[in-house]
Amino acid sequence: MTRPLLDVRDLAVTFPTDSGPIHAVHRMSFSIGSGERVGIVGESGAGKSVAALAITRLLAPSARLSGQVALDGTDLLQLPRSQLRHVRGERIGMVFQDPVTCLSPRMSVGDQLVEAIRAHRGVPRRAARDRALDLLRSVGIPDPVLWAKEYPHRLSGGMAQRVMIAMAISCDPELLIADEPTTALDVTIEAQIIDLLVELSEERGTAVMLITHDLALLARFAERILVTYAGSIVEQGTVGTLYGRPSHPYTWGLMQSVTGVNEQRRRRLTAIRGAPPSARAIPPGCAFHPRCPYVQEVCRREVPELMVHGGDDHASACHFAGQLARPEELREVRP
């Protein structure tokens, strides 16, 4: 296997506070191949966003990072601060949740794009302008010449997110990290943005890491999915495996709590009982054990490793991976 584009090993993020440390990310390991589309799913507070920000070291200076984040062999966590600027925006583009507030309110859309281009490339203003218009066109903004002159408050959420994406890909990054890019948008726009990300990734060969709490969205987008819980990855696999044969009780819980319009028969929506653990006090053993319906003695004592137990690198961090019987309604779920 070739070297992955991004290789995250044992990433841990801790915020020291007066009332004890907060373990936002807890030994997270994963990799993203060149041009691959990976989805990261999990509840609020599972550490998805913190992990994403940790990759480009955008967290507050108080955050303690450990582990390794290798981008094409270079460990970003060891990189001097002065070098980071050449990674952010240039090699890793980022798109955030609320696009309208992510655009500078006092600068026109076109100017911001020109800024983004010229921050990394010493191209003349004219060339940067032309490129900005091309970018706007490629993210599906009609009449770019006109919209480039507009200020962000005149843009709809969907258009603003398109502009953000244009800015993020302005320097042809190898990896695009999209942190819940559609949470602030309504569903029809959401689908368009996701389609746009797929399209851009395929056209340009950009790897995309999409963070979301929406499983259904990932089915449309990702090639591989990582499920996070309490700051670690509990299951990973290709879309086919993960939707067809999920093996971690937490993933089951997530899937059972999702509703679908086209469901064949009425079923009860099941919520996962309890609440996700506080990042101050992650339970010993398997972090999910207090909420797991299949909990055994070993779960309370030993931390399960993320182990490959099926084809296609399907891995699950459960002591009983592959041994538990899936809940009935998940047996027929198609990807």
Instruction: Give residues in contact with another protein (CB under 8 A).
Output: 56, 58, 61, 84-90, 93-94, 96, 98, 101-107, 115-116, 119-120, 140-143, 146-147, 150-151, 153-159, 162, 164, 167-168, 188-189, 191-192, 195
State in angstroms the smallest separation of the CB of 29 from another protein.
23
Q: 93, 173 in Cβ contact below 8 A?
A: yes
Q: 63, 54 in Cβ contact below 8 A?
A: yes
- Specify the residue, 140 or 237, whose C-beta has the smaller distance to another protein: 140
Pick from 306, 331, 326: nearest CA to 249: 326
State in angstroms the smallest separation of the CB of 262 from another protein.
17
State in angstroms the smallest separation of the CB of 14 from another protein.
20
- Specify the residue, 157 or 290, whose C-beta has the smaller distance to another protein: 157
- Specify the residue, 20 or 124, whose C-beta has the smaller distance to another protein: 124
* Cα separation, 224 vs 4, whole angstroms: 14
- Specify the residue, 11 or 167, whose C-beta has the smaller distance to another protein: 167
Q: 75, 9 in Cβ contact below 8 A?
A: no
State in angstroms the smallest separation of the CB of 331 from another protein.
32
- Specify the residue, 82 or 264, whose C-beta has the smaller distance to another protein: 82
Return the bridge partners of 64, or none.
14
* Cα separation, 229 vs 131, whole angstroms: 41
Length of the chain: 335
Q: What order do you get walking across the sheet with 22-32 strand by strand?
A: 22-32, 6-15, 64-71, 74-75
- Specify the residue, 39 or 173, whose C-beta has the smaller distance to another protein: 173
State in angstroms the smallest separation of the CB of 94 from another protein.
4
State in angstroms the smallest separation of the CB of 49 from another protein.
12
State in angstroms the smallest separation of the CB of 87 from another protein.
7
- Specify the residue, 94 or 254, whose C-beta has the smaller distance to another protein: 94
Q: What are the residues whose beta carbons fall under 8 Å from the beta carbon of 287, sequence distance 6 or more?
A: 26, 229, 230, 231, 232, 277, 303
Q: What are the residues whose beta carbons fall under 8 Å from the beta carbon of 235, sequence distance 6 or more?
A: 226, 227, 242, 246, 247, 248, 250, 251, 306, 315, 316, 317, 318
Angle, in degrees to the nearest 10, between helices 157-168 and 109-120: 20
State in angstroms the smallest separation of the CB of 191 from another protein.
7
Q: Quick check: helix, strand or coil at residue 34?
A: coil
- Specify the residue, 26 or 162, whose C-beta has the smaller distance to another protein: 162
Full DSSP string of 7-32: EEEEEEEEE--TT--EEEEEEEEEEE
> What does the block give as tokens for 225?
């999915």
